[in-house]
Amino acid sequence: MVYPGTKTLDLELSSSQYASITDGSQTGLDITGDITIEAWIKPESITGTQMVASKLLSAGDQRGWYFSTENTGFLRFAYFGSGTNTPVSYSDTAAGSVVTDEWQHVAVTVDVSTATFTFYVNGEAVGDTVGDTSATSIFNSSADFAIGCSDNGIANYFDGDIGLVRVWDDIRTQSEIQDNACLELGSTTNLQGEWSLDDVYTDGSGNGNTLTASGAPVFSTDIPGFCLADEDYSDATKSLDLERSSSQYAKINDGDQTGLDITGDITVEAWIKLESDLPSNGDLFTIASKGAYTSTNRSWVFGYWKNNTTAKKYLILWHSPAGSTLNEGAGSGTNTLITVGEWTHVAVTSISNSLKYYINGTQVLTGSGGSFKNSSSPFHIGGISGTPDSPVGSNASFDGKIGLVRVWNDGRTASEIADNTCTVFSGTEANLQGQWIFDDTYTDATVNQNNLTSSGSPVFASDVTSTCAVTPSANSNFLMFM
């Protein structure tokens, strides 16, 4: 499922652009009790107070409520009990909850009788700090309802793109917010306004709250590139087929990625199916890596290795704190054989430099690791930039199929790894920095949008693990990128 439209409303702060409906023309927006506001936003700037939506007029003491972004990237919702400045109840999220130049789904639910606020960003609850709880109802203001401004179009203009705005007169649950973030709902109980802003200002709720534009805003073809869908890894039909002989891999340049410059705790997971065995002592099948083989740009490499002295085979996480020497992150070197031609789930965690390796959800090896250099080299799946050298031999390319690769900037627990080998996460989870399903696409199914580019002309194979078809994931929501 993708975003249900081809356009969103592009508002320019410098031109005082917004869309609104007068109080006398609206139906259902004079909400005095419980309320939920939702919207997709992509701020172009976050300066001062910028309204996502409001029903607020300072002149004549007609303050109702407003939902805004604020100067340091926090969200605020405020409502007034008498139309004057007091009593007022408001709450803020932490600074940095929203950022510029990225699509984010934002929502707030408010139990006005108890001044209980819950904010959501991309479907996940974010912390809030209640500033005042004096008001116990929302004043029935005669102000315009507006998207992108307040005070009937004279203040607090939004700067950026807005899409799929909804106003409810009840408290929506987290699952309702997650499940409906990318749906146009139409006439639904308690939905008082729904504006797709898909080249139109009409209200899809059935209340007829059609907006009027001011300041000549335009509709943009910039839309959220991902949306919630009901699928899991059992629905995937393809995987990425990499040939070692052709040095095939997929990568994203350091300047294009977000969140993959990990220097401390880390978890890397993947489904792999080897097409050949490690040919020689010192050879490595690279699963994922950050850092090229240059004198100063090594960071970390996760792969399946054949020890150059003992000939034992095991998973390994090489690490380089300074970027020069790669250090072996293995323990006793006990054989942890991976069977050629069989789908296998592999994972490694590094927590406070202590390493644990997993095969098919079971821990098989421990080791001592270290921190990683913040390398300017690309992030790779299936290879490494440059020509490998000692101790991993002259070729570190993967040979086989790879699916559902994930990178976290924390250490996952054994149960989290074992329970989620077939889970395709929503992409909004804390610490999840990249998730690539490789179901005929190189896109990253997280909000970071770390989409990869292939090298060496690999293909997608109609070959995926049957394990997930037998034991499907318990988590059925994930972000599907267009």
Report the DSSP beta bridge partners of residue 132. 90
337: pLDDT strictly greater than 90: no
How would residue 348 be classed by pLDDT, with cut points 50, 70 and 90? very high
Instruction: Count CB-CB contacts under 10 A for residue 45.
Output: 14
Supply the pLDDT for residue 282. 84
* Residue 83 pLDDT exceeds 50: yes
How far is Cα 130 from Cα 247, in angstroms, rounded to an integer?
Answer: 55
Q: What pLDDT score was predicted for residue 474?
A: 33
Q: Provide DSSP, 393-441.
A: -S-----EEEEEEEEESSPPPHHHHHHTTT----S-STTEEEEE--SS-
Domain with CATH 2.60.120.200 in the chain: 8-224, 233-481
Per DSSP, the residues of 332-395 read S-------TTSEEEEEEEEETTEEEEEETTEEEEEEE--------SPEEES--SS---TTS-S-
The dihedrals phi and psi of 414, each to the nearest 5 degrees, come to: -60, -40
Per the CB < 8 A criterion, the answer to whether 186 and 205 are in contact is yes
Residues in the chain: 482
Residue 472's pLDDT band (cuts 50, 70, 90): very low
Cα angle, residue 171 at apex, residues 169 and 175 outer, rounded to 5°? 130
Q: Taking 60 as the threshold, does the pLDDT of residue 390 lie above it?
A: no
User: Looking up tokens 């490998």, which residue turns up?
Assistant: 388
Instruction: Using the predicted structure, report yes or no on whether residue 210 has a pLDDT greater than 80.
Output: yes
Asked if residue 266 lies in contact with residue 409, where contact means CB atoms within 8 angstroms, the answer is: yes
Residue 367 one-letter amino acid: G
Q: If pLDDT is split at 50, 70 and 90, which confidence band does 334 have?
A: low
Does residue 469 carry a pLDDT above 80? no
Instruction: List, in sequence order, the alpha helices (H) in 70-220.
Output: 174-180
Task: Determine the topology of domain 8-224 in CATH.
Answer: Jelly Rolls (2.60.120)
CATH number, domain 233-481, options 3.40.50.10090, 2.60.120.200, 3.40.50.300, 3.30.70.60: 2.60.120.200
pLDDT confidence tier of residue 228, bands split at 50, 70 and 90: very low
Q: Which residue has the higher pLDDT, 430 or 390?
A: 430
User: Among the listed ranges 272-276, 311-315, 361-365, 382-386, which one has the minimum average pLDDT value?
Assistant: 382-386
Q: Which residue has the higher pLDDT, 3 or 146?
A: 146
